[in-house]
Amino acid sequence: MKKVVIFLLTLCVVTAGVLETSAVLFKNNSYAETKSTSEVAQDSEKGARTDVSNPDLKELTGKDLKDGTYDIEVESDSAMFKIIKAKLTVKNGKMSAVLTLSGKGYLRLFMGTGEEAVKADKSKYAEFKIVDGKYTYEVSVDKLNTPVECTSFSKRKQKWYDHQIVFLADTLPEGAVKKNHTVVIVCVAAAVVLVLGAIFAIGRARKKKSAK
């Protein structure tokens, strides 16, 4: 009987421990979800956004560009997130950019969505730096001519606001984009074939004329 009582008491203690642990985990998960939601602006809090995608533009990556630092224009889907200047740096196929915003309302940027920013390590954030009186941010760039997610943390609202931006390759200076040697070779080959065909046709015409 004594052993049974001890067993039941032990079982109760273990059960209580499991329930307490579950409650703590549930509370932490709920807090994390609440925190994530509260730190990201909802659609009703955002201003008007425009579609910045353009299917006619060919996507480029760092491998398509020559190493160097170039001025480039960046289009934003929001008037509240206006990029007035951008410097693109390319090195060994990798790209980064220093963005200058028109205002001083954002403390940091993150290349991704607000939900992703909340869960990301803070070392991934691009904190603002003041250059010539303007807020600038250094971010990584994966591709050009294709919309990418960029979220900004509002100083006043203390929330992340999602945007889509596009780095426009056709605004790069001449020579920044590598030439497509395959296209050049095909064009040259086609030109050679046309010239040889014309020479052959002229030769045959002369032979026929001589025969007459």
pLDDT digits (tens, 9 = 90+) for 52-108: 999 999 999 999 999 999 999 999 999 999 999 999 999 999 999 999 999 999 999
Nearest to 105 by CA among 150, 50, 160, 52: 160
Query: CA of 52: how far to CAs of 63, 87, 145, 163, in Å?
Result: 23, 20, 10, 10
On the question of pLDDT at 114 being above 90, the answer is yes
Mean pLDDT to the nearest integer, 168-197:
69
Mean pLDDT to the nearest integer, 11-23:
45
On the question of pLDDT at 144 being above 50, the answer is yes
Q: Are 193 and 84 in contact (CB under 8 A)?
A: no
What is the distance between the alpha carbons of residues 163 and 20, in angstroms, rounded to a whole number? Answer: 41
